[in-house]
A and B are shown apart, each in its own frame.
Chain A
């Protein structure tokens, strides 16, 4: 079971995950932190409840004076944005981090989820086309199913392809979906669809308050997604994915249903973005093809990679860094620019650079998943691009091996 996996006490955990930090922390601190750590481990499913309660109170925290940058409505809006972004990073983390498939068009699924809501509720002008006119709640399963079906439809023909082809096909898929929304009449073209109704419960209207959306929609969705992903990762499916990303040929030879498992990763990844799309469109009430530019797919990818491929904490951290941090900086800087970089667009340059740096120096990301970390930094990956036998490369590899021997 997921909760029992991993280290049993805090020191072992630190040694495994943050070896350098572990050496610096005093024994006393580690011992007292151990109580919390072991307690947390023993909580089982209650820890998700506890996490939910903690998340519930974040908006309260943001209203305190000591959070000058995130005060009031602005802070909560950022929190809500980070919330649905976490759903996106979690889903993409399954695809890229767990199954090792590079998806550059992930936002296409998010977009399909959003448009499903718009077309199944009473939205837009009177002559707007609708499939049905249900309440927003009734469209939740359909937003998820449409996203998952799209994942399946894209996955079945393309997942037999090599990784780099897949990347470009998914990039093209995003563009196709966007152009289709831009040109079709039923989606109202580039003008988009306004007036998507907010959810209501009895007399209570969700309205525009981000706190409500965060508390009642983001938190449950995130927790459910985390539970689902942790279970999958520690089940047979997770081991299949690990085998596929480490060495596809060997995995196939061992009887792993490679294509089926890849499609499954795609479908699971798409499901969380369907939910995120639902939350996004009922909150904002308006969607247009321009709300889903290609660079959004790239930003989600950067969030996943920076945070840590295949790691849940990494996905959360990535969402905060990529979606939350730039908004805060933008709000704090009156000119909208830092060092000549326009924050809205310059962040993409910065995250692009960060992707290169992370790949070179810390391929597992900032909060690397344990299993993933060992693989990505391993000298001589099974699918190395060019086996480099230059003196320099051999020396570097020998040094790595030497380090490992010393450690072991």
Chain B
């Protein structure tokens, strides 16, 4: 094993940036886990749907390409994130109604939910792989944010930080603060927390659990979709299976921080991003995914409730 310490800086920066992206996806896993106590395996597909929706609206329909500046950029960027978020939120709500609610009505066993969720994930993913939708290849995402050495940006720890990277970090922080507020300080948040603590008692207190569960899926889906659009801007393309690897990693991150715990998701995602990317210092880049996937069983064995424990809210 020969370690290249010169890579410490750049991998640290990449790790942080990818960590923020994973964090946005992890929010969806962790919130659904908080209320239903089950992994929404289809969340990776929701993430992809968000990115693809932004691609269709801005790339195909409006035919936008090339970078923008000033106010146009700001408006377009917000619109793009909103479109992606909305599309993902709607599909998450549909997912809840079609794949989960019928099972809940029957009080089905856990295994049924998990299988149904896996089915939904692969159904959505491979539906988009078909030629009448996205098709099997990569598609170019409308890159409205200028990147590269001549665009706005700065160099930090030997690595170039451009607009897309800044967007991911700032966007994730804004989303996180917003969600933290929502969960801890609003009536909706209170009902989500109540449901996650005791489903039966919260129903007796007059909480409409169907509505709360859909709301949870919608919020989680929205952030997943926003993450999808950011992914598109960061890497410049969308592809039908783009959700798979980030999905598993975001899930790992959520468990690492303590699943069901929103602050934990953020912490876990940053940690995972760092460990995974900084492993490149000593290992070949091909082993990055292996490092990330090995981390999960290790966490589960030594600290099954994650770093911050399982508790939605602060």
Residues of chain A touching chain B, judged by Cβ–Cβ distance below 8 Å, are 96, 100, 102, 104, 157-158, 161, 163-165, 167-169, 171-173, 175-176, 179-180, 182-183, 245, 294-295, 298, 301-302, 305, 337, 340-342, 345-346, 348-349, 351-356, 359-360, 363, 375-377, 379-390, 392-393, 396-397
Contacts and interface: CB of A to CB of B under 8 A. Distances in A.
Given A172-B248, A359-B115, A349 B290 contact: no
A384 B109 contact: yes
B113 A169 contact: no
B114 A352 contact: no
A167 B195 CA distance: 25
A294 B126 CA distance: 13
9 contacts: A157-B301, A168-B248, A341-B130, A342-B131, A355-B116, A376-B112, A384-B110, A386-B35, A386-B37
B210 A390 contact: yes
B158 interface: no
Contacts of B293: 172-173, 175-176
Question: Which of A164, A176, A295, A375 neighbours the largest number of chain B CB atoms within 10 Å of its CB?
Answer: A164
| Consensus secondary structure, chain A interface | helix
Contacts, number: 188
Given A169-B296, A355-B123, 13 more contacts: A172-B296, A301-B118, A302-B119, A345-B136, A349-B125, A352-B123, A356-B116, A359-B119, A360-B116, A375-B109, A386-B104, A387-B200, A389-B203
Contact of B39 (A100, A167, A173, A301): A167
B282 interface: no
Given A165-B300, A352-B123, A386-B199, A301 B115 contact: yes
Interface stretch (B78-86, B95-103, B173-181): B95-103
A348 B122 contact: yes
B99 A356 contact: yes
B261 to A, nearest CB: 15
B122 A351 contact: yes
A396 B105 CA distance: 7
Nearest to B213: A386
Nearest to B119: A355
Interface of B: 35-39, 41, 98-99, 102-116, 118-127, 129-132, 136, 195, 199-200, 203-204, 209-210, 213, 244, 248, 251-252, 255, 284, 286-287, 289-290, 293-294, 296-297, 300-301, 304
A163 B297 contact: no
Contacts of B290: 175-176, 179-180
B110 A183 contact: no
Given A352-B126, A393-B105, A385 B113 contact: yes
A386 B33 CA distance: 11
A352 B120 contact: yes
A388 B107 contact: yes
B296 A385 contact: no
A339 B287 CA distance: 40
Question: Which of A298, A337, A355, A383 neighbours the largest number of chain B CB atoms within 10 Å of its CB?
Answer: A355
A179 B39 contact: no
Question: Which of A348, A353, A379 neighbours the largest number of chain B CB atoms within 10 Å of its CB?
Answer: A353
Given A163-B110, A355-B115, A360-B116, A183 B287 contact: yes
Nearest to A167: B114
B110 A359 contact: no
B289 A179 contact: yes
A354 B118 CA distance: 11
B300 A161 contact: yes
Contacts of B115: 102, 301, 305, 355, 359
B119 A354 contact: yes
A182 B286 contact: yes
A352 B35 CA distance: 24
A352 B115 CA distance: 9
A348 B127 CA distance: 9
B36 A385 contact: yes
